[in-house]
Amino acid sequence: MTRTNWWCRQPASWTRVAADRCRGARGRFGLLAGALLLAGCAVSGTPAPATPPVSDTDLAALRAAVDEINRAAGDPTEQRSVLDKLVLPADAAAQRQCPPTANTVTLEPAWPSVSPQAGRSGAYLVPTLLRVHTDGRITGTDLTALVFTLQSGKARSPTLCVS
């Protein structure tokens, strides 16, 4: 009489097929059939279109806008004036309504992840680590995705109210 281990008597499961020593040839057939099934699923369907890359010219304009915002981070009044200048014209009124503050922000975009925003010509989604500064100290952080829009070769920011 051959001894069997207690785990050999359990019903088969998808997660155990590859490691189950008790299945023998039947287990290997199941594993092969499962792999072929997965391979068939991997090549079927309509592939998602690849995101077009951001041109060097557009990326340079985005970087210039972010650099200008960051350079002004030492002075709240100066940064407010930069934000007023860089905002999209359609958002200028909303930007002017932002309350005065003693805080500033710095932006640290994930440049390799910048991508065109679907449905908006010239708009780019810029994943960003945003840091809030008060009196030279970091007092807050946030992960966000800002949408910058290129107009006449210049990057325009969304409304950014620093508080």
Mean pLDDT, the chain, rounded, equals: 79
With bands split at pLDDT 50, 70 and 90, how would you rate the model's confidence at 163? confident
- pLDDT, one tens digit per residue, over 24-58 is 545 444 444 444 444 444 444 555 555 568 999 99
Q: Domain coordinates of the chain in residue numbers?
A: 12-43, 56-156
70 vs 40, which has greater pLDDT?
70
CATH of the domain spanning 56-156: 3.10.450.50
Average pLDDT on 87-115 reads: 95
85 vs 39, which has greater pLDDT?
85
Q: Is residue 19 over pLDDT 70?
A: no
The full length of the chain comes to: 163
Average pLDDT on 138-162 reads: 94
Q: Fill in the DSSP letter of residue 161.
A: -
Q: Is the dihedral of CA 69, 132, 161, 122 positive or negative?
A: positive
Average pLDDT on 147-160 reads: 94
Q: Which tokens in the block code for residue 125?
A: 């989604």
pTM of model > 0.85: no
